[in-house]
Structure 1
Amino acid sequence: MTPERPTSPSIKPSCTLIFPANHPDGLRYREEARERSEVVVLAASGPSAHGVQIEGQEVWALPFVHEAGFADALMALADRHNIARVYSPVAAAHGGLAQAIRECALPLRLLGRSPIAREVARCRNLMSRAESMAGFISSTAEGGQPLPLASIASVLQLADGIYGESNELKIAAMIAIFASSPEGDVVEIGSLVGRSAAVLAWLARRYDIGQVLAIDPWEPLAAQQHDSPQLVRTVLSDDWDFSLLPKDFAINLQSVGWGQLNYLQMRSIDGHAHYCRTGTVESPEFGQTRYCGKIAVLHIDGNHDYSAVASDTERWFPLLVPGGWLILDDYIWAHGNGPQRVGDALLAAQAHRIERAFVCGKALFVRLMP
């Protein structure tokens, strides 16, 4: 399938060549290009490139970059389809393209850095981000064993790969509090697809705190934020395929959660009853997990309506052990004040039991006295 023709026969839009197009990063670029209406041409090398289509679009065959005639074949394809740019997700192909464009003065622009250069930059960026938060983590940990920079970077990389709204400041504070957390269960109310749950599981394992339990009903009615503006209520729930959310969560948590985490697909009130009654959770993805019934870290991030946050806090907060931590997400939230109202009431009512409290990354962190 050739690129779409413009409405005017005298004007042909410039195209972007993806080469090799059958690489996963090439397929990703194609999807992103489609969203921005960028016309792309697909090409690959080798026997598998002949007579191939990707979702109905023809993949053109080019010689390998090291073969004689590569530059001529490339320019013939470029002239045929008015190609002005090339995206190459493979290091060897990127290098060969750069050399051909340079030595043959080809009128093509090679997009981006080489895959190797991108990986080097990615690692440097992770380490730079880790370094920027290391001082905050160390001071907030208050004498607890701080993580090495590579470990902080590993947590950031883990979170980067999972959809969610827990920002970097909140993650830094989460890292810090685990350094001083007592032993016990780690419970999360509201997990979506597992970004914060993955961080909790990583930290619970690293500091040998205890088992992690994620509770989320993954159902539309439970996700409705009735205290928020109508637009927010619609955007936050209508785009999700709720039947897919538990699978998304399990996929994201398999590598870090096995033997450390389990989940209950139910509302917080029912999850609380199950947790208090049985102390055991079993699922096909994570097997059987036993909990001690005493919570070291409690992360409340479910429905943000005042009544829902108040209900979650009323049920789960009493299970925190001395020295335990509460993380009340979105204490500062643009779309409602439910978490803040509950948090302020908690700070006032439990002042005699609270050792310290601070706000970071929009979340309220509260530690009970040991």
Structure 2
Amino acid sequence: MVSFVAGQTLLVFPVDVDSVTPIVRTAAMLGVRVVAASSVTPLRPVDGCDECIYLPYISDDGFDEALRRAMRAHNVTQLVTMHVGVWAHFARLAETDGEVRAAFRGTHPVQQQWQVFAPSLSWARRQQADDIATGLTVPGGHVAPPLSVAEYASLHRGFHRTYGQCDVAKLEALCAILRVTPPGEMVELGVFFGRSAYALARLAHAHGVGSTICVDSWGRASITDQGAAAGVLNVAQSAYNQEHVFEEFLALASEVPSMSYIRQEAVDAVLAYRDAARHGVLTVPELREVAVSGAIALLHVDANHRYDQVRRDVEAWEPLVRPGGWIVFDDYDWTFGDGPKRVGDELLATGRFERAFVWSDSLFMRKRGS
């Protein structure tokens, strides 16, 4: 991997390889001057780059000297490539050229890719060997077999590719409980980009549990504050384009079978969900039609965290959670307020739940069987 220091100059060649884009963005964000080089003409401006220059192909006899001139002319302190052939050429050149050796950064591009993927594979192997789900079932209850290592690795990689605050500890909990979840819909209240919804949808589809319905207004409803302690979060909600978030969510949802959405506030979306259940399907313009039974197997509560808002959402949706199904309160332990904790504790006090535990920052509750 490559580290950056503000004020230095990075030369990226060839900039035409799209795997350098994250490097360019990170360097620019950290105050590094970025010079993009290409052998393809005409040269085109590149987002995040301060200047674009021409360098011949590495097969050209004049490449090495052209590289040295460019490095001196632009005061280059770091030299990066994600092209395997160019990397090999730079590595050979660095053996005899002190200027190149001092500036050349990064391991082989294939090794860099492995460094990105290896944590997902390691996590997948641990997850596949984990037997937590067995301890979560009721006597005589069914425990679905774990997914394959490849499936867990894919889930982990896709989860981390999606922006969001849901952490890997919660992902592990979802992997466990989806193995002991009865048939029905996954319903998530409060979705954002869809990181946790993606995990639910992948797991529910793989285990044959049911469709995943994502409920969020994505800016179509007026923003309601989440309480005095959450003031910094209330302000933050107006700092980004909700339509952009929704568009990225749609792209994510299109990757996963049986994943759809209701674009309304949580309390209002109940009617749309009930209507879909009457018809047996939920239809939206951008995604495939998904089956809806009207029985919720897992309700993930992650919308407005103010106490009265959480209580209102739960009162609307909890009656639809089937016996043996789960309710998950996100941010049960929350720095900015106690709405999820108060509502979760009130629900526990009803005696309608046979099992409850806290994992990561969330409360997991299983409804008593019939």
Q: TM-score, normalised by structure 2?
A: 0.88
CA distance in 2, matches of 1:281, 1:189: 16
Partner of residue 135, structure 1? 130
Normalising by structure 1, what TM-score?
Answer: 0.88
**Could you say which residue in structure 2 is the equivalent of 1:21?**
15
Closer, same or farther in 2 for the Cα pair 1:136/1:342, shift >3 Å? farther
1:98 correspondence with 2:60: no
| 1:319, distance to aligned residue in structure 2 (A) | 1.0
1:180 Cα deviation after fit: 0.6
Give, in angstroms, the shift of residue 322 of structure 1. Answer: 1.4
Residue 100 of structure 1 contacts residue 106 of structure 1 at CA under 8 Å; is this kept in 2? no
- Give 3-state SS (helix, strand or coil) of 1:179's partner: helix
Q: Distance in 1 between matches of 2:133 and 2:42?
A: 57
Within 5 A, what are the aligned runs for 1:8-47? 14-45=8-39
Q: Residue 52 of structure 2 aligns with which residue?
A: 59
Kept in 2: contact 1:227–1:305 (CA 8 A)? no
User: In structure 1, how many angstroms separate the alpha carbons of the residues matched to 2:266 and 2:334?
Assistant: 21
Structure 1 pair 140–360 and aligned structure 2 pair: CA distance change class (3 A): farther
Distance 2:288 2:118 in 1: 37
Map of 1:83-232 to 2, 5 A cutoff?
83-107=76-100, 108-133=102-127, 134-135=129-130, 137-138=132-133, 142=137, 143-219=143-219, 221-222=222-223, 224-232=225-233
* Offset of residue 50 of structure 1: 4.3
* Cα deviation 1:238-270 (Å, max 9, x = unaligned): 22212222212101211114xx02111101121
1:1-43 C-alpha deviation (Å, 9 max, x unpaired): xxxxxxxxxxxx6421011112223333223222222112111
Root-mean-square deviation (CA), in Å?
Answer: 2.1
Q: What secondary structure is seen at the aligned counterpart in 2 of 1:147?
A: coil
User: Which whole-Å deviations, capped at 9, do the CAs of 1:56-83 have from their partners, x for residues lacking one?
Assistant: 8542222223432322111111111111
Other-structure match for 2:315: 314
* Residue of structure 1 equivalent to 2:3: none
Q: How far apart are residue 304 of structure 1 and its match? A: 0.5
Determine the structure 2 residue equivalent to 1:325: 326
> Given that residues 200 and 212 in structure 1 are in contact (C-alpha distance below 8 angstroms), is that contact kept between their aligned partners in structure 2?
yes
The answer to which of 155-164 and 109-118 deviates more is: 109-118
SS at match of 1:129: helix
CA contact (8 A) 2:14 2:36 kept: yes
**Pick aligned residue for 2:62 from 59, 69, 72:** 69
Contact 2:11 2:35 in 1 (8 A): yes
* Cα distance in 1, alignment partners of residues 305 and 44 from structure 2: 50
Identity %: 29
- Aligned-partner Cα distance in 2 for 1:322–1:100: 67
Q: Secondary structure at the match of 1:355?
A: strand
Tell me by how many angstroms 1:285 deviates.
1.2
In structure 1, how many angstroms separate the alpha carbons of the residues matched to 2:232 and 2:50? 38
User: CA–CA distance in 2 between the matches of 1:123 and 1:243?
Assistant: 31
- 1:217: how far off? 0.8
What whole-Å deviation, never above 9, does each CA across 1:261-285 have from its counterpart, x for those lacking one?
2111101121101212342422111
Distance 1:127 1:334 in 2: 32
What's 1:8 paired with?
A: none
